[in-house]
Chain A
Amino acid sequence: MQINKVYVPPGQPGSIVELKEKYGNFIGGRFVAPVKGQYMEDISPVTGKPFTKVAKSTPEDVELALDAAHAAKEKWGEILPLSERAKVLNKIADAIEANEEMLSVAESWENGKPVRETLNVDIPMAVDHFRYFAGAARMLEGTITEVDKDTLSYQIHEPLGVVGQIVPFNFPLMLASWKIAPALAAGNCTVVKPASPTPWSILKMMEIINDVVPPGVINVVTGPGAEIGKALATSPRIAKIAFTGETVTGRLIMQYAAQNIIPATLELGGKSPNIFFDDVLAKEDDFMRKAVEGFVLYAFNKGEVCTCPSRALVQESIYDRFMAKALDSIKKIKQGNPLDTNTMIGPQVSAQQIQKISSYVDIGKQEGAQLVVGGQRAKMEGDLAGGYFFQPTIFKGENNMRIFQEEIFGPVVAVTTFKDESDAIRIANDTLYGLGAGVWSRDGTRAYRVSRAIKAGRVWVNCYHSYPVGASFGGYKISGVGRETHRMALEHYTQTKSMLVSYSEKPMGFF
């Protein structure tokens, strides 16, 4: 990790990030002005001030992007040898890697996440994703079934064609790569709609990778969800829609997909339990410190993570001792300018998020939960005074409270205690969601039992917030449909051709 460096904000003298006054959509391999010529301001959450403009697109722009994608799909998916497709994915990875620092600063400034996270997680993971899927696509094999000696059935994976992908604001580049890499690897062209609060960093990425991606293979259209997201998701010209976001929109996307009879994959949030058994404090050692850090990870990316460990379940026999250690760590969290490599927590992504988080803190207090620490907007000085900073917050309460049941999407953890293993499992599963969970114990068999009993798509055991490609990611219950970050994602981006071939020359004999 780099230390003691404060990056200059994009566009300012000495910054490593070049900034234009405004950005069009990325369509057919070039930046094009929106059809109706409208732009919207892009606000940095660090200062609360606009720093550039992006296209405020209309459905006509989505059509142009779809035109470009359809024009490119045959060459990309059917003519180009797989080895060439893989080469493009590897070149994308190389180009991003060569500009890792620049993209890290851009991502940090637009989203507010600390640059130490973008430098060490977001951008390197995006790079690795493209490399993984460059290889994975070449390992995708069909099957042959011998129906009888002269009749063979070949199952062949074929690309879907053109897909629509809607990316959220919390990991704009990393989650874009989670979606784009498998889509491209499987031979599809894509139209991507970035989230409204974070439309710009992906345009910086397109500037970087434009030279290595054939025109029309990746297209990016920015604008309001109600217009652009809807135009994309309802279009009869897409063969699949992928979405990460909240449940009502997810339902709407599935409904649109039903009308077009196309597949939809959805990742829709969670309220992930992080369970600490008494034995984590059995020794004052690295493992104990790792477990305490595991609790504090609720503040990672300012809590704007679908798998935020936002419910902590601590065995009652160790509650006081464990929380004392956790509070010690929380007091040491450095909040401030995310472009400072020493900063651990930056601002929330938008004023809207601050309002929602504050509203939940209010609900928690009204419900009678005990506010242990934080609970307010953090006051900052100078340029940062207008930024959307919120204090790391802990509530203690009961699992039936709304702050335990709803995703707050901020640096707020709701803590409760449990008596024994079955109590822990009962509380962990008492939620509508099933995206993530954490289990901490020195007893491997207990950790295994509890992990298997939790209804969630990802259970971290003695770790948390690690998202290596190769470990599948997706939700149980209302947390979504489909899996990403694993080669099985290729199945979501292909369809199956069954060729049933007769090698017999004899008639069937029916007529």
Chain B
Amino acid sequence: MADTGSAITHTPSVVATPAALAAIRELLRDHRGGIAFFQSGGCCDNSAPMCFEEGEMIVGQVDKLVGKVGGCPYYMDFRQYETYHSSQIILDVEDGEADGFSLPAGRDGRHFITRTKICAANACNV
């Protein structure tokens, strides 16, 4: 991503909490082919991290790999990626049903969520 010259120039990144990593491990037991995350945008599910079996969603030219969580890819539309500038996405788990067509976080009744840390001057390097 090009440096825009603004104060915020870091690229987006993603990390997962221990609860999210545990949920990913649970999912991988049932979905041997792997799982992948797609950052949602817009309408009723806005910032929800959508979790699918790998290959369910065809990864296209618009998809930018933000990083990997628990060994699983986390994608975002490149146009959205450009607006995320220095956001560190923190993947976590909360109670409640998953949004859209997303898999639950490990088991029914829990879903993945994102929190965000806006990184200033390398503060979010992991």
Interface presence of A360 (CB below 8 A)? yes
Residues of chain B contacted by A244 (CB below 8 angstroms): 43
Q: A356-B48, A359-B47 are in contact. Are A247 and B101 (CB under 8 A)?
A: no
Interchain nearest-CB distance for A478 vs B (Å)? 7
Question: Are B116's CB and A366's CB within 8 A?
Answer: yes
Q: A168-B44, A351-B95 are in contact. Are A225 and B113 (CB under 8 A)?
A: no
Distance of A350 Cα from B99 Cα, bound (Å): 11
Interchain nearest-CB distance for A314 vs B (Å)? 22
Question: Are B47's CB and A247's CB within 8 A?
Answer: no
Distance of A269 Cα from B41 Cα, bound (Å): 8
Q: A168-B43, A351-B95, A400-B83 are in contact. Are A225 and B100 (CB under 8 A)?
A: yes
Closest A residue to B43 using CB positions: A269
Residues of chain A contacted by B41 (CB below 8 angstroms): 246-248, 269, 406-407, 432, 478
Interface presence of A194 (CB below 8 A)? no
Interface presence of A405 (CB below 8 A)? yes
Closest A residue to B113 using CB positions: A355
Question: Are B83's CB and A479's CB within 8 A?
Answer: no
**Could you say which of A212-220, A249-257, A331-339 contacts chain B?**
A249-257
User: Which one of B39, B57, B96 lies within 8 Å of A252 (CB-CB)?
Assistant: B57
Interface presence of A195 (CB below 8 A)? yes
Q: A356-B46, A432-B79, A479-B42 are in contact. Are A245 and B100 (CB under 8 A)?
A: yes
Interchain nearest-CB distance for A363 vs B (Å)? 5
Interface presence of A196 (CB below 8 A)? yes
Distance of A306 Cα from B84 Cα, bound (Å): 21
Interchain nearest-CB distance for A321 vs B (Å)? 30
Interface presence of A402 (CB below 8 A)? yes
Residues of chain A contacted by B84 (CB below 8 angstroms): 402
User: Which one of B48, B58, B113, B117 lies within 8 Å of A246 (CB-CB)?
Assistant: B48
Interface presence of A139 (CB below 8 A)? no
Residues of chain A contacted by B118 (CB below 8 angstroms): 363, 366-367
Interface presence of B17 (CB below 8 A)? no
Interchain nearest-CB distance for B87 vs A (Å)? 7
User: Which one of B50, B57, B99, B102 lies within 8 Å of A255 (CB-CB)?
Assistant: B57
Closest A residue to B75 using CB positions: A248
Interface presence of A352 (CB below 8 A)? yes
Question: Are A246's CB and B44's CB within 8 A?
Answer: yes
**Interface residues of A toward B: which range?**
35 or more
Distance of A355 Cα from B104 Cα, bound (Å): 16
Question: Are B83's CB and A402's CB within 8 A?
Answer: yes
Interface presence of A270 (CB below 8 A)? yes
Q: Among residues 84 to 114 in chain B, which have CB atoms less than 8 Å away from a CB atom of chain A? A: 84-85, 87, 94-104, 111, 113-114
Question: Are A247's CB and B117's CB within 8 A?
Answer: no
Residues of chain A contacted by B40 (CB below 8 angstroms): 246-249
Interface presence of A268 (CB below 8 A)? yes
User: Which one of B56, B94, B96, B115 lies within 8 Å of A362 (CB-CB)?
Assistant: B115
Distance of A249 Cα from B43 Cα, bound (Å): 11
Question: Are B102's CB and A363's CB within 8 A?
Answer: no
Residues of chain A contacted by B85 (CB below 8 angstroms): 400
Distance of A414 Cα from B16 Cα, bound (Å): 29
Interchain nearest-CB distance for A271 vs B (Å)? 8
User: Which one of A268, A366, A432 lies within 8 Å of B43 (CB-CB)?
Assistant: A268
Question: Are B113's CB and A359's CB within 8 A?
Answer: yes
Q: A246-B48, A246-B100, A363-B118 are in contact. Are A251 and B43 (CB under 8 A)?
A: no
Interface presence of A508 (CB below 8 A)? no
Question: Are B44's CB and A245's CB within 8 A?
Answer: yes
Distance of A238 Cα from B3 Cα, bound (Å): 47
Question: Are B77's CB and A247's CB within 8 A?
Answer: yes
Residues of chain A contacted by B42 (CB below 8 angstroms): 246-247, 268-271, 306, 406-407, 432-433, 478-479
Question: Are A226's CB and B102's CB within 8 A?
Answer: yes
Closest B residue to A353 using CB positions: B44
Distance of A228 Cα from B28 Cα, bound (Å): 22
Question: Are A304's CB and B44's CB within 8 A?
Answer: yes
Interface presence of A169 (CB below 8 A)? yes
Closest B residue to A359 using CB positions: B115
Interface string of A200-216 (1 = CB under 8 A from B): 00000000000000000
Distance of A265 Cα from B62 Cα, bound (Å): 20
Residues of chain B contacted by A247 (CB below 8 angstroms): 40-43, 77
Question: Are B45's CB and A249's CB within 8 A?
Answer: yes
Closest A residue to B58 using CB positions: A255
Closest A residue to B57 using CB positions: A252
Distance of A169 Cα from B97 Cα, bound (Å): 14
Interface string of B55-77 (1 = CB under 8 A from A): 01110000000000000000001
Residues of chain B contacted by A195 (CB below 8 angstroms): 44
Q: A246-B43, A252-B56 are in contact. Are A350 and B38 (CB under 8 A)?
A: no
Distance of A269 Cα from B77 Cα, bound (Å): 15
Closest B residue to A267 using CB positions: B43
Residues of chain A contacted by B96 (CB below 8 angstroms): 350-352
Distance of A304 Cα from B44 Cα, bound (Å): 7
Distance of A313 Cα from B84 Cα, bound (Å): 21
Residues of chain A contacted by B38 (CB below 8 angstroms): 248
Residues of chain A contacted by B87 (CB below 8 angstroms): 363, 402
User: Which one of A170, A229, A355, A367 lies within 8 Å of B94 (CB-CB)?
Assistant: A355
User: Which one of A267, A359, A479 lies within 8 Å of B116 (CB-CB)?
Assistant: A359
Distance of A56 Cα from B97 Cα, bound (Å): 12
Interchain nearest-CB distance for A53 vs B (Å)? 14
Q: Among residues 335 to 383 in chain A, which have CB atoms less than 8 Å away from a CB atom of chain B? A: 350-353, 355-356, 359-360, 362-363, 366-367
- Inter-chain pairs besides A229-B100, A402-B83, 5 sampled, C-beta below 8 Å: A169-B44, A246-B46, A249-B40, A359-B113, A478-B41
Closest 10 CB pairs of A and B: A269-B42, A269-B43, A366-B118, A249-B100, A246-B45, A405-B83, A246-B43, A248-B40, A248-B50, A247-B42
- Chain A to chain B contacts (Cβ below 8 Å), 5 pairs: A255-B58, A352-B113, A359-B114, A366-B117, A409-B43
